[in-house]
Amino acid sequence: MLLNNRKITITKYSTEKPWLKEIPDQDWLCILVVDNIPRRYLDEVLPKLLLKNICWLCTVGSQCEFVHDLMDEEIIYRQVEETQPHLPKHFVFTSWHEDFNEGFSFAIYAARHDAVDIKNVVVLDMTNGIDQARIESALTQAQDEA
């Protein structure tokens, strides 16, 4: 799907498949869908998003504010505590959206970055498919906004 000149893809997080191979290495924004995910999985995923040079992280779902704060803490920790931290060369923006559809709309149409031309939006579903219908509905609504 192409919306706002951005390729939209859905990737399902799993400990049993190499989901990271489906993530671009640059020019991308992540819509992270999170509901009741144990912290250990978040601690795995967030650093990997930084390794893939994410430019924006938009979180939606019941843990959106918590996960947004975790990513901010991860970035600050790397800046302050590590001598040679891996961080993207550009600033990483983060936002959280309690309104599921608004989060998708923001990520697709409103999120901008001065240093990165956002070409890809990856919806990373960490709900084990539970929110698949909500994701599809939010994408349909975003498509209708075009």
CATH of the domain at 87: 3.90.190
Please count the structural domains in the chain: 1
Cα separation of the two ends of the chain: 12
Total-model pTM? 0.94
The residue segments making up the domain with residue 16 are 2-145
pLDDT attached to residue 79: 85
d(CA 140, CA 138) in angstroms, rounded, equals 5
Nearest to 134 by CA among 65, 41, 61, 68: 61
Helix (H, G, I), strand (E, B) or coil at 133: helix
d(CA 31, CA 66) in angstroms, rounded, equals 14
pLDDT attached to residue 78: 85
Tokens 């489906």 identify what position?
22
pLDDT attached to residue 80: 87
Q: At what angle do helices 64-81 and 39-51 cross, to 10 degrees?
A: 60
pLDDT along the chain (146 residues), means of 10: 96 95 97 96 96 97 97 91 78 96 97 96 96 97 90
Element (H, E) at 4: none
3-state DSSP of 10-38: EEECCCCCCHHHHCCCCCEEEEEECCCCC
